[in-house]
Amino acid sequence: MKIIVLKFGGTSVGSLKKIEKVVKIVISYVKKKYKVIVVSSAMEGVTNELLLKTQNIAKNFPEEEKDVILSTGEQIACALIAGKLNDLGYKSRSWLGWQIPIITSGNYSSSRIIEIKKKNIVNYIKKGGIPVITGFQGINNDFRITTLERGGSDTSAILCAKFFKADKCIIFTDVKGIYTTDPNLTKSAKKIEKISYEEMLEMASLGAKVMQPASIQEARLNRIEIDVKSTFSKKNGTIITKKRNILHKNTIRGISFTKNDAKLTLVGVKDKPGVAASIFKPLYENSINVDMVVQNISPVGRETDLTFTVKLEDLSKTRKLVEKNKSIKFKKLIINRNVSKVSIVGVGMITTPGVTFRMFKALAKKKINIEVISTSEIKISVLINKKNLKKSVEILHQEFKLSSSL
């Protein structure tokens, strides 16, 4: 069978009129002789509304019951899509995670798909049906409904492509593809025709909003090629694929940034083995993600200043955990909420010297001070004052000629 997986995001199914557009897209692939599997997110805003209900009714709402509620958003969207397909004469029905079933493991609200049972869906497709599968959900070994991390509908689609051996996986969203940077911030941003899994994973983890890092990682591990395109445009989107499938014209492929970081500096920490582990252990135990870390040792080697960043939403909890941590001693804690992280990404920098120098020189020309630096093989991130974010992105976009064809 020539199977294709079509996944539609929340903005794509955000209204009845938009759902009618989605149905037309599905039918267009049926007419191309594909056996179509549809995966849908909840209608735009619905998941947040459901989450708010759980917060308003109880301070300690059970995670397993939260998953039951949050999973209903996808059910509504899928039923509406299937209903409209039937209205137009196409055999279709919605499939909930437990009906397939999609087997998950791990914690509620952050489960992982470990298997998708194929039999029921394959039989339905062979009978001419168009299955419309709820993204973002599954069922665990206790027969309880589970949900994946936010953005998990993309992961559902990618793993459907894996288990059903689909020819294609297309992610439909409200943007025309992956851009060199956010076009809302920089007008010169340009759509990328092809990007590697590794580059997309870095861009997603560094702030790009089109796809979540977990879904990109699943695609990379399972070598599922993804086509990201707009529900509302017939133009080609961006293909996320293997590195060897890309002809690199640019060393740097994109610029990501965040606006919701906070920097914490512990001044005068006693320098001894295990002190860093003592600082970060309670943060790990409270599921707080630490990003950039810099340690400066004093000339005499007895004290150190340790700087790290967290998400702004975790700042209050982080501060309390650090101040209550009796296993460490420090002179004072300095907090800065007015920071942003800007990152350049590209597999080409592995073999191209001078990228770091060009980045720092370009920022220096605009008198933009770098507070913290973090690097990997294919990215360089700097922490700057938030007021310089737009200027930094624009100058780096210009420096690495990202407005040229990609």
pLDDT at 149: 85
Does 198 have pLDDT greater than 60? yes
Same-domain pairing of 51 and 143:
yes
pLDDT greater than 70 at residue 188: yes
Structure confidence by residue, pLDDT tens digits, 209-247:
788 888 999 999 999 999 999 999 989 999 999 887 776
- Six token digits for residue 110: 């952050």
Give the number of C-alpha atoms closer than 13 A to the C-alpha of residue 189, restricted to the C-beta side: 20
By CB neighbour count within 10 A (0-12 exposed, 13-18 middle, 19+ buried), where does 248 fall?
Answer: middle
> Tens digit of pLDDT for each residue in 74-120?
999 999 999 999 999 999 999 999 999 999 999 999 999 999 999 99
Instruction: Tokens 């999973």: give the residue.
Output: 71
The two tokens of residue 299 are 């000339």
Provide the pLDDT for residue 405: 53
Give residue 344's pLDDT. Answer: 95
Number of separate domains in the chain: 2
How far is Cα 81 from Cα 84, in angstroms, rounded to an integer?
5
Residues 287 and 153 in one domain: no
Q: Model pTM?
A: 0.85
In a domain, 234, yes or no: no
Residues 8, 157: one domain?
Answer: yes
Q: What is the CATH number of the domain that holds 95?
A: 3.40.1160.10
268 and 395 both lie in a single domain: yes
280, pLDDT greater than 70:
yes
Give the pLDDT score at 248. Answer: 63
pLDDT band, residue 23 (cuts 50/70/90): very high
Q: Would you state the pLDDT for residue 207?
A: 67
User: Is the model's pLDDT at 330 over the cut of 60?
Assistant: yes
Cβ neighbours for 347, distance < 8 A, ≥ 6 positions apart: 196, 198, 199, 243, 248, 253, 377, 378
Per-residue pLDDT at 384: 97
Q: What is the mean pLDDT of residues 33-38?
A: 97
> Is residue 30 located within the same domain as residue 162?
yes
pLDDT at residue number 295: 86
pLDDT tens-place string over residues 341-382: 999 999 888 888 899 999 999 999 999 999 999 998 899 999
pLDDT at 282 over 60: yes
- Same domain for 136 and 266, yes or no, is no
Instruction: Give the model's pLDDT for residue 151.
Output: 81
Q: What is the mean pLDDT of residues 161-174?
A: 95
Q: Which residues contact 146 (CB under 8 A, 6 or more apart)?
A: 67, 97, 104, 106, 108, 109, 111, 137, 138, 139, 140
pLDDT at residue 349 in the model = 87
Out of 6-10, 57-61, 149-153, 214-218, which region has the weakest mean confidence (pLDDT)?
Answer: 149-153
Is 187 a domain residue? Answer: no
Q: Let me know: does 196 contact 249? Beta carbons within 8 Å.
A: no
Range of the domain at 71: 3-174
> Residue 249: inside a domain, yes or no?
no
81 domain-assigned: yes
Mean pLDDT, all residues of the chain: 93
- pLDDT reading at 299 higher than 90: no
Nearest alpha-carbon partner for 390 in 291, 203, 292, 259: 259
Backbone φ and ψ for 188, nearest 5 degrees, come out as -80, 0
Q: Are residues 281 and 376 in the same domain?
A: yes
Confidence of residue 272 (pLDDT cuts 50, 70, 90): confident
Establish if 186 belongs to a structural domain: no
SS3 labels along the chain: CCEEEEEECCCCCCCHHHHHHHHHHHHHHHHCCCEEEEEECCCCCHHHHHHHHHHHHCCCCCHHHHHHHHCHHHHHHHHHHHHHHHHCCCCEEEECHHHCCEEEECCCCCCEEEEECCHHHHHHHHCCCEEEEECCEEECCCCCEEECCCCHHHHHHHHHHHHCCCCEEEEEECCCCCECCCCCCCCCCCECCEEEHHHHHHHHHCCCCCCCHHHHHHHHHHCCCEEEEECCCCCCCEEEECHHHCCCCCCCCEEEEEEEEEEEEEEEEECCCCHHHHHHHHHHHCCCCCCCEEEEECCCCCEEEEEEEEEHHHHHHHHHHHHHCCCCCCCEEEEEEEEEEEEEECHHHHCCCCHHHHHHHHHHHCCCCCCEEEEECCEEEEEEEHHHHHHHHHHHHHHCCCCCCC
Residues 304 and 160 in one domain: no
Radius of gyration of the CA atoms of the chain, in A: 23
Cα–Cα dist 66/54, whole Å: 7
- pLDDT at residue 197, rounded to an integer: 93
State the CATH number of the domain containing residue 388: 3.30.2130.10
Query: For residues 166, 14, 77 and 53, what is the CA-based torsion angle, rounded to 10 degrees?
Result: 130
Predicted confidence at residue 156, as pLDDT, reads 97
**Percent above pLDDT 70 for the chain:** 97
**Which position has the higher pLDDT, 274 or 52?**
52
269 shares its domain with 365: yes
